[in-house]
Amino acid sequence: MKISCLLLDDDPLVLDLLQAYVAMTDVLDVKAAFTDPLDAHRYLLQHDVQVLFSDVTMPHLSGLDLVRSLQHPPLVVLMTSYPQYAMEGFNLDVIDFLLKPISLDRFLKAVNKIAGILRTSMVDNDGNQDILSGWGSFFIRTDAQFVRLHYREVLYIEALKDFTKINTADGRTHLTLVNLKNIEEQLPPGLFVRTHRSYLVNTARIEAVSNLEVRVGGHALPLGQTYRERVTERIVNRSLIRRQQPQ
C-alpha cells in the first residue's frame, strides 16, 4: 500500500517539483496539495494522512505553528531555505528536515526513512516480524542513476571503504557512495540486523548462525562478538523454540 501524504508550500513551483519527485517514487500517494497553510490545517482536521511535507516560512501560519496546532499530527517533514529552523523542528519530533533547493536524492532519503518508520510501527507487541514481509522498497544511487531495490531481494549489505555494496538474491551487486551506517538508519530495523561492523544482513534470508558466522544465501559472513547476542536474540524470536509450551 502507498503512503498517504499532504504537500504544503506557498510556492507553486516547489509543489510542482515535489509532485514530480513523488511520481518517481511510486511509494507516496498525494491526497492534497496546498499553498495556503490555513487550507492545509482545515484539511488535516477532517482527513487522515500519514505524512505531512510542509514549508516552514509561510504567510498567516508557519509550518512549525501548523504542527503545534494539531493534537495528533502525522509524520512531519519540514522544508525550508533557513537551516536555523532545524533545531526547533526536531524539538517537535519531525522526522526529517529538507533544505531548499531540495534534491531528488535527499527527497528519496526522506521517503526511505518514512517507509522504515511506518513498517517498524506495524510490528506487533509480541515482536513478531512476519508482518514485515519485505515487499517494500528503497532507492539507491548507483552509476549516475537511481535504482529501486525491494527489501526481500537483498541478502546482505557490505561496507567497502567509501562505498557500500548491496548483494541481492539474483547474484547482482550494487555499489553506492553511502556509508553502511547511513543505509542502516534508513532501513526497517525489524528486517535487517548488523552482524559485523562491515555487514548488515536481511534477517529473512539468514539460513544458519554459529558462534563465528552467519550463513545467508550460501555466503558465510563473519559474526562479530559485539553483535552476537543481538543476532541470536533475533533468530530465537523467529524460531519455534520460543513458541514451545511447557509439558
Mean pLDDT of the chain: 84
Supply the DSSP symbol for 26: S
Indicate the CATH number for domain 3-124: 3.40.50.2300
pTM of the entire predicted model: 0.57
DSSP string, 77-116: EEEES-GGGHHHHHHTT-SEEEESSPPHHHHHHHHHHHHH
pLDDT at 71: 86
Percent of the chain with pLDDT strictly greater than 70: 84
Is residue 2 pLDDT above 50, yes or no? yes
> Looking at domain 137-237, what is its CATH homologous superfamily?
LytTr DNA-binding domain (2.40.50.1020)
C-alpha cell at 247: 509439558
- Note if the bond before 73 is cis, omega within 30 degrees: no
**Site of grid cell 510542509:** 54
- Give residue-wise pLDDT tens across range 62-85: 999 999 999 888 999 999 888 877
Burial of residue 7 (number of CB atoms within 10 Å: 0-12, 13-18, 19+): buried
Domain boundaries, the chain: 3-124, 137-237
Question: Which pLDDT belongs to residue 199?
Answer: 95
The residue that leads in pLDDT, 216 or 1, is 216
pLDDT, tens digit, 9 for 90 and up, residues 91-148: 677 888 899 999 999 999 899 888 877 865 554 333 434 334 445 677 788 877 788 8
DSSP string, 194-239: EEETTEEEEGGGEEEE-SSEEEETTEEEE--HHHHHHHHHHHHHTS
